[in-house]
Amino acid sequence: MMRIEEFAKTLSAKSATNQSHSSAQIDLSTLALVKEYVYKYITMDIPIDVKRWYTYVRKQVQRLNLLEQDDPLLIQFIREQLLVPPFIKEPESKAKKKPGNYSKDISSFLEIFRNKEKGFFVEIGNNFTKSQIFEADFSWEGVLIDKDPDSVNKLLDKKRKAWIVPTCLSLKSTPEMVIFVNTTRKEANREIIEIHCMPINTIFASLNISRVDYLHLDVHGRENEAFTRLNLTSFPVHVVEIGKSADQKEKNLLKKHLESAAFKLLALKNETDRLIYVNPANAK
């Protein structure tokens, strides 16, 4: 899914290559096209089991958007209205294997964590396979943050032993309503959805997170920028993995943020698509 302003830039770029308008005219053309998309294509058909988290009361949204990220009322709202508690039953890992017989990717992380039991993870995006192995085979607990209703619905079916947070990351220190376009589908089947995004620090505070062993960020566009608002002093993290979704500009932004917090890039053989940063001071 792509934020509407990023989608507008994409349309603007197409207009610039196809027409010789002035920049002002291109902007007007882009806005018209975006409006056409919003009204022409159907709003995302949200699965019934997750609809409660994507149904908003406008007056409540307006009040919440005035609250700063450390406001107790906002923390309480997320805690009571957004957090989906872990499934109680111990899940069985489909990838259950004998120690030392994991994939190279998993083995490299187990080496970093020294086969640690009962760690804590946070995954942001919709690629949660790695944490499922940590969770099922090494008794880790954690949080899965995903804005896509379909992905959240699938997570519920998997009965994960992890908190689920069905929202997106705000670019502000307050919540914000954001329109997303599902660009993975063909143009005629694209869907529009509006989601109430929350500040990442408020999400962490609502879960009483004191430290994180593994944080996986696999999003694209401005959600990477939103991640840089995470207070790494208040919420210490040991290992951060940046997934394949981020482009080079976004990776440079994340690099600057992490290196300012004493993270070091871990060199991996034959790895160009993803980056792993480690802060040894936060290892336990």
Instruction: Collect all residues with Cβ–Cβ distance below 8 Å to 16 and sequence separation of at least 6.
Output: 26
- pLDDT the model gives residue 244: 78
Average pLDDT over residues 191-198: 89
pLDDT of 69 above 80? yes
* 3-state class percentages of the chain: helix first, strand second, coil last, to nearest 5: 40, 15, 40
Distant-in-sequence, close-in-space partners of 78: CB < 8 Å, separation ≥ 6: 165, 198, 202, 203, 206
Pairing outcome for strands 2-3 and 141-145: unpaired
Q: What is the per-residue pLDDT for 88?
A: 80
| Two structure tokens written together for 110 | 């187990």
Do 163 and 80 form a contact (C-beta atoms < 8 A)?
no
Residue 23 has pLDDT above 70, yes or no: no
**pLDDT at 43 > cutoff 70:** no
Q: What is the pLDDT of residue 157?
A: 92
Give the chain's mean pLDDT.
81
C-alpha–C-alpha distance, residues 85 and 163, integer Å: 5
Sequence ranges of the domains in the chain: 85-174+199-282
Higher confidence at residue 278 or residue 100? 278
pLDDT of residue 3: 67
Whole-prediction pTM: 0.81
Residue 167 has pLDDT above 50, yes or no: yes
Cα angle 217, 162, 116; round to 5: 75
pLDDT of residue 236: 95
Tell me the per-residue pLDDT of 208-234, one tens digit each, with 9 for 90 and over.
999 999 999 988 777 788 889 999 999
Confidence of residue 39 (pLDDT cuts 50, 70, 90): very low
Strand-strand pairing, 120-124 and 212-217: parallel
Among 48-57, 136-145, 271-280, the range with the most confident prediction by mean pLDDT is 136-145
- Tell whether the model's pLDDT for residue 77 goes beyond 70: yes
Q: What CATH class has 85-174+199-282?
A: alpha beta
Q: Report the percent of the chain where pLDDT is more than 90.
A: 47
Please tell me which residue, 246 or 164, carries the higher pLDDT value: 164
